[in-house]
Amino acid sequence: MTKNRSHARLSGTLAALLCAAAASLSALPAAAAPAPAEEPSTLILSDTLNYDDIKKESSFTGNVVLTRGTMTLNADTLTMRQLPDGTQQGTAIANKGKMVRIRQERPETFEAVEGTGLRAEYDDKKGEFDLIGQAVVIRYVCGKPFDTIRGERVRYNEKAGTYQAQGGPNSAAAGGRVRSVAEPRAKSDAAQAACRQQQASGKSK
């Protein structure tokens, strides 16, 4: 099936595992377990869509824009696969002379992580994405760049807030190495504090 300017919503299943409260030795009632956070839906805009119901695979082409919660992805081609457990994996590719772009907002800490590469792979279950080929990942605080990692492959785990990088012949850094630049933590903390104060001042008006 092919649709022009498709507007597709792919929603993952809710991981709703409720643990039974263990019997307490005391007479006090057990506290209710908090409800699990609802998974965000996935919105994809593209020029065309081909969906294979047997393979549970969707292929999007042409100015692809994916939005999932606070994450956005821009590419020329995107293939999404739904796994048996309901989670998704995606592979995004850019046309020659262009780059795949991923941006993950972290509004609670006034941070954003932005990555570019020739190809990107996203694992919904693990909460991580890989930028592959001329990979660059930059962490912004209050809109200003603070940390930069360059390599052939850079992985960012949004759940843990961790990075991994590998060098190689197609590295974004000279000599096929991994190159990382990190600003002092004090500067990052100061930028967050300034943003928090600015936000508080705006709400008080």
- Give 108-121 pLDDT, tens digit per residue: 889 999 999 999 99
Q: Quick check: is 6 in a domain? A: no
Residue 14 has phi, psi (to 5 degrees) of -80, 130
Q: Quick check: is 16 in a domain? A: no
d(CA 1, CA 122): 24
Residue labelled with tokens 């785990």: 157
Average per-residue pLDDT in the chain?
Answer: 82
Instruction: Record the tokens describing residue 4, joined without a space.
Output: 């022009």
Say if residue 154's pLDDT is above 90: yes
Once rounded to an integer, what is the mean pLDDT over residues 28-41?
A: 55
Q: Quick check: is 27 in a domain? A: no
Domain that holds residue 78: 38-204
Give the angle 201-203-205 at the CA atoms, nearest 5°: 75
Q: Quick check: is 30 in a domain? A: no
Q: Quick check: is 11 in a domain? A: no
d(CA 9, CA 56): 14
- Give 157-173 pLDDT, tens digit per residue: 888 888 899 999 999 99
Once rounded to an integer, what is the mean pLDDT over residues 141-151?
A: 94
CATH number assigned to the domain comprising residue 159? 2.60.450.10
Percent of the chain with pLDDT over 90: 55
What is the Rg, in whole angstroms, of the alpha carbon atoms belonging to the chain?
A: 20
The number of distinct structural domains making up the chain is 1
Euclidean distance between the first and final Cα of the chain, in Å? 52
Task: Say if pTM beats, i.e. exceeds, 0.85.
Answer: no
